Protein backbone atom coordinates (compact mmCIF):
# COMPACT_ATOMS: atom_id res chain seq x y z
CA UNK A 1 0.00 0.00 0.00
CA UNK A 2 1.37 3.38 -0.99
CA UNK A 3 1.71 6.18 1.50
CA UNK A 4 -0.19 9.47 1.33
CA UNK A 5 2.00 12.11 -0.23
CA UNK A 6 1.72 15.58 1.25
CA UNK A 7 1.81 18.60 -1.04
CA UNK A 8 4.63 21.09 -0.64
CA UNK A 9 3.81 23.96 1.68
CA UNK A 10 2.38 27.09 0.12
CA UNK A 11 0.58 25.38 -2.78
CA UNK A 12 -2.83 25.78 -1.09
CA UNK A 13 -2.57 29.50 -1.83
CA UNK A 14 -2.69 28.77 -5.56
CA UNK A 15 -4.81 25.61 -5.80
CA UNK A 16 -8.11 24.50 -4.31
CA UNK A 17 -7.65 21.87 -1.56
CA UNK A 18 -9.76 19.36 -3.52
CA UNK A 19 -7.43 19.72 -6.53
CA UNK A 20 -4.42 19.13 -4.32
CA UNK A 21 -6.08 16.07 -2.79
CA UNK A 22 -6.61 14.54 -6.22
CA UNK A 23 -2.98 15.05 -7.18
CA UNK A 24 -1.32 14.07 -3.91
CA UNK A 25 -3.58 11.35 -2.50
CA UNK A 26 -3.12 7.74 -3.54
CA UNK A 27 -6.15 5.73 -4.73
CA UNK A 28 -6.20 3.81 -1.43
CA UNK A 29 -6.27 7.07 0.54
CA UNK A 30 -9.02 8.42 -1.69
CA UNK A 31 -11.05 5.26 -1.16
CA UNK A 32 -10.58 5.47 2.62
CA UNK A 33 -11.62 9.12 2.62
CA UNK A 34 -14.66 8.39 0.43
CA UNK A 35 -15.68 5.45 2.66
CA UNK A 36 -15.39 7.58 5.81
CA UNK A 37 -17.48 10.41 4.34
CA UNK A 38 -20.14 8.05 2.95
CA UNK A 39 -20.33 6.30 6.34
CA UNK A 40 -20.89 9.66 8.05
CA UNK A 41 -23.54 10.56 5.45
CA UNK A 42 -25.28 7.21 5.99
CA UNK A 43 -25.30 7.72 9.77
CA UNK A 44 -26.75 11.23 9.51
CA UNK A 45 -29.23 10.02 6.88
CA UNK A 46 -30.28 7.12 9.12
CA UNK A 47 -30.70 9.45 12.10
CA UNK A 48 -32.88 11.82 10.09
CA UNK A 49 -34.99 8.91 8.80
CA UNK A 50 -35.50 7.58 12.33
CA UNK A 51 -36.50 11.06 13.55
CA UNK A 52 -38.92 11.41 10.63
CA UNK A 53 -40.35 7.98 11.40
CA UNK A 54 -41.03 8.88 15.04
CA UNK A 55 -42.59 12.18 14.01
CA UNK A 56 -44.89 10.52 11.47
CA UNK A 57 -45.89 7.95 14.12
CA UNK A 58 -46.73 10.80 16.51
CA UNK A 59 -48.77 12.54 13.80
CA UNK A 60 -50.62 9.27 13.15
CA UNK A 61 -51.39 8.77 16.83
CA UNK A 62 -52.77 12.30 17.12
CA UNK A 63 -54.88 12.10 13.94
CA UNK A 64 -56.28 8.61 14.60
CA UNK A 65 -56.98 9.45 18.25
CA UNK A 66 -58.75 12.68 17.31
CA UNK A 67 -60.82 10.95 14.62
CA UNK A 68 -61.91 8.16 16.97
CA UNK A 69 -62.75 10.67 19.70
CA UNK A 70 -64.81 12.81 17.31
CA UNK A 71 -66.65 9.75 16.06
CA UNK A 72 -67.36 8.48 19.56
CA UNK A 73 -68.69 11.85 20.70
CA UNK A 74 -70.92 12.28 17.63
CA UNK A 75 -72.37 8.77 17.88
CA UNK A 76 -72.87 9.19 21.62
CA UNK A 77 -74.65 12.50 21.06
CA UNK A 78 -76.79 10.96 18.31
CA UNK A 79 -77.73 7.99 20.51
CA UNK A 80 -78.89 10.36 23.25
CA UNK A 81 -80.59 12.84 20.91
CA UNK A 82 -82.42 10.61 18.42
CA UNK A 83 -84.86 9.07 20.95
CA UNK A 84 -85.73 12.53 22.30
CA UNK A 85 -86.53 14.10 18.94
CA UNK A 86 -90.20 15.14 18.71
CA UNK A 87 -90.40 14.07 15.06
CA UNK A 88 -91.40 11.01 13.09
CA UNK A 89 -89.17 8.02 13.82
CA UNK A 90 -88.29 7.64 10.15
CA UNK A 91 -87.03 11.22 9.99
CA UNK A 92 -85.05 10.71 13.19
CA UNK A 93 -83.22 7.82 11.49
CA UNK A 94 -82.36 10.19 8.63
CA UNK A 95 -81.13 12.65 11.24
CA UNK A 96 -78.81 9.91 12.51
CA UNK A 97 -77.53 9.11 9.02
CA UNK A 98 -76.77 12.74 8.22
CA UNK A 99 -75.19 13.26 11.64
CA UNK A 100 -72.88 10.30 11.05
CA UNK A 101 -72.02 11.55 7.56
CA UNK A 102 -71.11 14.95 8.98
CA UNK A 103 -68.84 13.21 11.50
CA UNK A 104 -67.12 11.33 8.69
CA UNK A 105 -66.60 14.52 6.68
CA UNK A 106 -65.06 16.23 9.73
CA UNK A 107 -62.73 13.26 10.21
CA UNK A 108 -61.71 13.26 6.54
CA UNK A 109 -60.90 16.97 6.75
CA UNK A 110 -58.91 16.34 9.92
CA UNK A 111 -56.77 13.86 8.01
CA UNK A 112 -56.63 16.25 5.05
CA UNK A 113 -55.09 18.95 7.26
CA UNK A 114 -52.59 16.39 8.57
CA UNK A 115 -51.69 15.25 5.06
CA UNK A 116 -51.41 18.85 3.90
CA UNK A 117 -48.98 19.68 6.72
CA UNK A 118 -46.93 16.57 5.99
CA UNK A 119 -46.86 17.29 2.24
CA UNK A 120 -45.86 20.96 2.52
CA UNK A 121 -43.14 20.15 5.06
CA UNK A 122 -41.35 18.05 2.38
CA UNK A 123 -39.84 15.85 5.11
CA UNK A 124 -42.04 12.78 4.79
CA UNK A 125 -42.50 12.29 1.09
CA UNK A 126 -44.97 13.65 -1.38
CA UNK A 127 -48.16 13.04 -3.25
CA UNK A 128 -47.50 12.18 -6.87
CA UNK A 129 -50.03 12.82 -9.59
CA UNK A 130 -51.92 15.65 -11.26
CA UNK A 131 -52.16 17.80 -8.12
CA UNK A 132 -50.77 21.11 -6.93
CA UNK A 133 -50.39 20.16 -3.24
CA UNK A 134 -53.20 22.46 -2.12
CA UNK A 135 -55.46 21.78 0.85
CA UNK A 136 -58.29 20.88 -1.52
CA UNK A 137 -56.06 18.34 -3.30
CA UNK A 138 -55.14 16.86 0.08
CA UNK A 139 -58.85 16.69 0.99
CA UNK A 140 -59.59 14.84 -2.26
CA UNK A 141 -56.76 12.42 -1.53
CA UNK A 142 -57.95 12.07 2.07
CA UNK A 143 -61.46 11.13 0.90
CA UNK A 144 -60.03 8.41 -1.36
CA UNK A 145 -57.94 7.02 1.51
CA UNK A 146 -60.60 7.25 4.24
CA UNK A 147 -63.22 5.52 2.14
CA UNK A 148 -60.65 2.97 0.90
CA UNK A 149 -61.54 3.89 -2.65
CA UNK A 150 -57.89 3.33 -3.46
CA UNK A 151 -55.05 5.20 -5.04
CA UNK A 152 -55.89 6.24 -8.56
CA UNK A 153 -54.54 9.38 -10.09
CA UNK A 154 -52.74 10.46 -6.87
CA UNK A 155 -50.53 8.23 -4.76
CA UNK A 156 -48.13 8.77 -1.83
CA UNK A 157 -44.36 8.35 -1.97
CA UNK A 158 -42.17 8.18 1.14
CA UNK A 159 -43.11 8.02 4.81
CA UNK A 160 -46.48 9.60 4.09
CA UNK A 161 -47.59 6.13 2.98
CA UNK A 162 -47.78 5.12 6.64
CA UNK A 163 -50.17 7.99 7.34
CA UNK A 164 -52.40 7.16 4.37
CA UNK A 165 -52.47 3.48 5.27
CA UNK A 166 -53.59 4.23 8.81
CA UNK A 167 -56.18 6.68 7.50
CA UNK A 168 -57.64 3.88 5.37
CA UNK A 169 -57.70 1.51 8.34
CA UNK A 170 -59.28 4.18 10.55
CA UNK A 171 -61.87 4.94 7.86
CA UNK A 172 -62.87 1.29 7.54
CA UNK A 173 -63.24 0.91 11.31
CA UNK A 174 -65.23 4.13 11.74
CA UNK A 175 -67.49 3.38 8.76
CA UNK A 176 -68.16 -0.08 10.23
CA UNK A 177 -68.86 1.54 13.59
CA UNK A 178 -71.38 3.86 11.94
CA UNK A 179 -73.00 0.90 10.19
CA UNK A 180 -73.44 -0.99 13.44
CA UNK A 181 -74.76 2.13 15.16
CA UNK A 182 -77.33 2.70 12.42
CA UNK A 183 -78.31 -0.99 12.50
CA UNK A 184 -78.99 -0.73 16.24
CA UNK A 185 -81.04 2.45 15.69
CA UNK A 186 -83.02 0.72 12.93
CA UNK A 187 -83.66 -2.25 15.22
CA UNK A 188 -85.18 0.11 17.75
CA UNK A 189 -87.38 1.51 14.97
CA UNK A 190 -88.45 -1.97 13.89
CA UNK A 191 -89.31 -2.96 17.46
CA UNK A 192 -91.59 0.05 17.79
CA UNK A 193 -93.54 -0.97 14.70
Domain assignments of the chain as residue spans, ordered by start: 50-192
- Mean pLDDT of all residues in 26-35: 54
Q: What is the mean pLDDT of the chain?
A: 82
Residue 67: half-sphere exposure toward Cβ, Cα within 13 Å = 31
| Confidence (pLDDT) at 1 | 46
| Confidence (pLDDT) at 107 | 97
| Confidence (pLDDT) at 61 | 94
pTM of the model: 0.72
| Confidence (pLDDT) at 63 | 95
pLDDT 10s digits, 82-125: 888 888 888 888 899 999 999 999 999 999 999 999 999 888 88
| Confidence (pLDDT) at 187 | 85
107-129 core/surface letters (b: 16 or more CB in 10 A; e: else): bbbbbbebbbebbeeeebbbbee
CATH of 50-192, one of 1.10.1740.10, 3.30.2320.50, 1.10.287.70, 3.40.50.300: 1.10.287.70
More confident residue, 192 or 182: 182
More confident residue, 127 or 190: 127
Rg, C-alpha atoms of the chain: 29
49-65 core/surface letters (b: 16 or more CB in 10 A; e: else): eeebeeebeebbeebbe
Amino acid sequence: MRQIQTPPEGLERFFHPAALAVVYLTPAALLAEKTASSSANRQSSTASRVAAMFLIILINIILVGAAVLIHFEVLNWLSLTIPKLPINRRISILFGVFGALIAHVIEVWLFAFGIYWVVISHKFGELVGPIEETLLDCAYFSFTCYTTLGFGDVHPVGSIRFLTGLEALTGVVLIAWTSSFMFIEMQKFWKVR
